[in-house]
């Protein structure tokens, strides 16, 4: 792995990828010579995707395998600062109807927060990981990552992805669907190939039009098939079409997954080879590939480089928010004023309210910057329009949980609301999100006049479910609209989340 920025020296970082087939842990140390050194890697074949029932319910047996694996990972990361650990779930946890229940158990076992990422964010992280593992950074490349439940396809140059897609097909899901009893026939392979071809058909033209100079594959299926190619003397530097012809013939000869016997194929990988082969065959055909090189980089390496800021001096999420502000014609001056007021209040109450984590402040600030994006759709119900945009957009750098938090903060930044909006979040996060919401709502009330006041004369104090605002004498009398809004807010907070708001002058009793 390549060099990191100077400010990250001396840190130990850990990234965990909860894939549909395997769980991966990578630990790196950014040393005093400014190099990223891999300290440890652990991979376990969990086959979480194999545990999805017909109603996309994650079976207990799969959960138990996963939790046992995470208990082992937990021992390894126990002494690493929690801020330096990133854990993400991918396709299976995106699909599972009981994902939230499993994540609660998993976080207790692992001792770290788990976030689910979208398919597009997974593609971005794959490209980030792969691009750092390769030489020849000037070439435009096609990167393909075949996972257990999804396949990510990306075209990029240097460290920048230009086009990305996430396709709902993987080695586990296709093996389960098209070879459920382990039987392998020409007809079954043909049906699976047709299905995979239909999934790639919709994106192939756009990718071919963009063009690339080299093709790179990553993750288990690609590495396994490349090993078969090398050990059987077919291709020594990756995968070619002859490799796929060879594997297809071996699968038909075996006739059953249990009878597959190919030099270079591990027992674990044999169980999902038919599905993985079909997906790779479809990719070769759709994108007219003759040869695919292999990279060690993947999602977990992408997570590491995301954490240490190897490519960008600023968080990629900052760029995403900036792009959304421009796209939806946000009133930047007003957004900055709301952000400034949020920072003012947050600085005074963060410690007492337990919202002093840097990521809590980030979410508050980003919500302030985009709280009015719904106006681009309509002023009527604009808070709901804004919430929908944030929930359903491809927001690079953000996990699905982070998008949900932003969506709720924007949805509830003014007007009436109910405590039910917080129920979908983990118990430990609800209180934090409620308090961020209170700070945002108060900042927006104070900035309603859009005169860009800084309000440095105000003082805020917080304790448990109470927030007190102290202002100079006659301050409220000079602002009758603000006074009314604050009194209305006091009632709304009490009714919605049982929080009390006190507004006082430095010479008076509470308002």
Q: Is the pLDDT of residue 451 over 90?
A: no
Residue 31 has a pLDDT of: 72
Distance (Å, whole) CA 400 – CA 403: 5
Output the pTM of the full model.
Answer: 0.85
Looking up tokens 């805020």 gives 460
Residue 425 has a pLDDT of: 86
Residues 6+ apart with CB under 8 A from 65: 46, 47, 48, 51
Residue 453 has a pLDDT of: 84
Distance (Å, whole) CA 268 – CA 270: 5
8-67: pLDDT as tens digits: 446 899 999 999 999 999 999 877 655 778 899 999 999 998 888 888 999 999 999 999
Q: What are phi and psi of 81, to 5 degrees?
A: -55, 130
CATH (residue range 316-505):
1.10.3210.10
Direct distance between the N- and C-terminal alpha carbons of the chain, in angstroms, rounded to an integer? 60
Residue 33 has a pLDDT of: 59
- Cα 26 to its chain centre, rounded Å, is 17
**What DSSP character marks residue 57?**
P
Residue 310 has a pLDDT of: 47
CATH (residue range 6-117+304-308):
3.30.420.40
Residue 3 has a pLDDT of: 44
147-160: pLDDT as tens digits: 999 999 999 998 88
Distance (Å, whole) CA 340 – CA 348: 13
Average pLDDT, the chain: 91
Residue 4 has a pLDDT of: 42
Answer whether 6-117+304-308 and 134-295 agree in fold. Answer: yes
**To which CATH superfamily is domain 134-295 assigned?**
Exopolyphosphatase. Domain 2 (3.30.420.150)
Total residues belonging to the chain: 511
Residue 137 has a pLDDT of: 60
Local confidence band at 377 (pLDDT 50, 70, 90 cut-offs): very high
Which residues pair with residue 468 across a beta bridge? 461, 502
Lowest mean pLDDT among 46-50, 134-138, 349-353, 379-383: 134-138
Residue 32, SS3 per DSSP: coil
Q: What are phi and psi of 482, to 5 degrees?
A: -65, -40
Residue 7 has a pLDDT of: 42
Distance (Å, whole) CA 363 – CA 458: 23
Distance (Å, whole) CA 501 – CA 63: 43
Distance (Å, whole) CA 196 – CA 286: 10
Local confidence band at 135 (pLDDT 50, 70, 90 cut-offs): low
Residue 311 has a pLDDT of: 40
CA torsion, points 435, 439, 445, 449, in degrees to nearest 10?
Answer: -160
Residue 11 has a pLDDT of: 85
Query: What are the extents of the domains in the chain?
Result: 6-117+304-308, 134-295, 316-505
380-419: pLDDT as tens digits: 999 999 999 999 999 999 999 999 999 999 999 999 999 8
Alpha helices, H only, 296-354: 299-308, 316-327, 332-353
413-438: pLDDT as tens digits: 999 999 899 988 877 789 999 999 99
312-336: pLDDT as tens digits: 455 789 999 999 999 999 999 999 9
For residues 121-142, give the mean pLDDT: 86
Residue 508 has a pLDDT of: 59
């Amino acid at each position: 792995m390549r060099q990191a920025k100077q400010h990250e020296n001396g840190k130990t970082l850990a990234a965990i990828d909860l894939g549909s087939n395997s769980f991966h842990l990578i630990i790196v140390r950014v040393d005093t010579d400014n190099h990223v050194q891999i300290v440890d890697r652990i991979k376990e074949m969990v086959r979480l995707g194999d545990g999805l029932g017909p109603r996309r319910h994650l079976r207990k047996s799969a959960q138990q395998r996963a939790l046992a694996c995470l208990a082992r990972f937990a021992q390894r990361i126990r002494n690493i600062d929690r801020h330096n650990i990133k854990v993400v779930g991918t396709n299976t946890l995106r699909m599972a109807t009981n994902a939230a229940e499993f994540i609660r158990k998993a976080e207790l076992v692992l001792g770290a927060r788990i976030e689910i990422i979208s398919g597009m964010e997974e593609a971005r992280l794959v490209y980030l990981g792969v691009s750092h593992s390769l030489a020849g950074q000037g070439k435009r490349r096609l990167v393909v990552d075949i996972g257990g439940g999804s396949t990510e396809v990306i075209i990029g140059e240097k460290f920048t992805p230009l086009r990305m897609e996430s396709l709902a097909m993987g080695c586990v899901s296709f093996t389960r669907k098209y070879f459920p009893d382990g039987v392998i026939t020409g007809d079954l392979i043909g049906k699976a190939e047709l299905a995979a071809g239909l999934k790639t058909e919709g994106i192939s033209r756009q990718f071919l039009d963009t063009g690339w100079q080299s093709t790179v594959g990553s993750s288990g299926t690609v590495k396994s098939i490349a090993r078969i190619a090398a050990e059987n003397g077919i291709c020594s530097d990756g995968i070619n079409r002859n490799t796929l012809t060879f594997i297809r013939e071996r699968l038909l000869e075996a006739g059953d997954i249990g009878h597959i016997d190919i030099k270079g194929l591990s027992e674990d990988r044999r169980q999902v080879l038919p599905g993985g082969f079909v997906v790779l065959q479809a990719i070769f055909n759709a994108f007219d590939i003759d040869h695919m090189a292999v990279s060690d980089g993947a999602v977990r390496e992408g997570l590491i480089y995301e954490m240490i800021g190897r490519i960008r001096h600023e968080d990629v999420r900052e760029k995403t928010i900036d792009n959304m502000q421009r796209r939806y014609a946000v009133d930047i001056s007003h957004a900055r004023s709301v952000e400034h007021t949020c920072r003012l209040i947050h600085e005074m109450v963060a410690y007492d309210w337990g919202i002093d984590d840097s990521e809590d402040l980030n979410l508050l600030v980003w919500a302030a910057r985009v709280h009015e994006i719904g106006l681009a759709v309509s002023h009527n119900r604009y808070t709901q329009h804004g919430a929908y945009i944030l929930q359903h957009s491809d927001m690079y750098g953000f996990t699905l949980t982070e998008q949900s938090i932003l969506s709720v903060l924007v949805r509830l930044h003014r007007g009436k609301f109910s405590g039910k909006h917080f129920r979908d979040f983990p118990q430990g996060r609800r209180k934090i999100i409620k308090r961020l919401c209170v700070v945002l709502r108060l900042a927006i009330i104070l900035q309603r006049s859009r005169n860009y006041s800084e309000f440095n004369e105000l003082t805020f104090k917080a304790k448990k479910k109470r927030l007190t605002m102290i202002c100079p004498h006659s301050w409220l009398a000079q602002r009758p609209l603000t006074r009314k809004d604050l009194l209305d807010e006091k009632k709304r907070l009490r009714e919605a989340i049982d929080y009390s708001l006190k507004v006082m002058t430095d010479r008076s009793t509470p308002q």
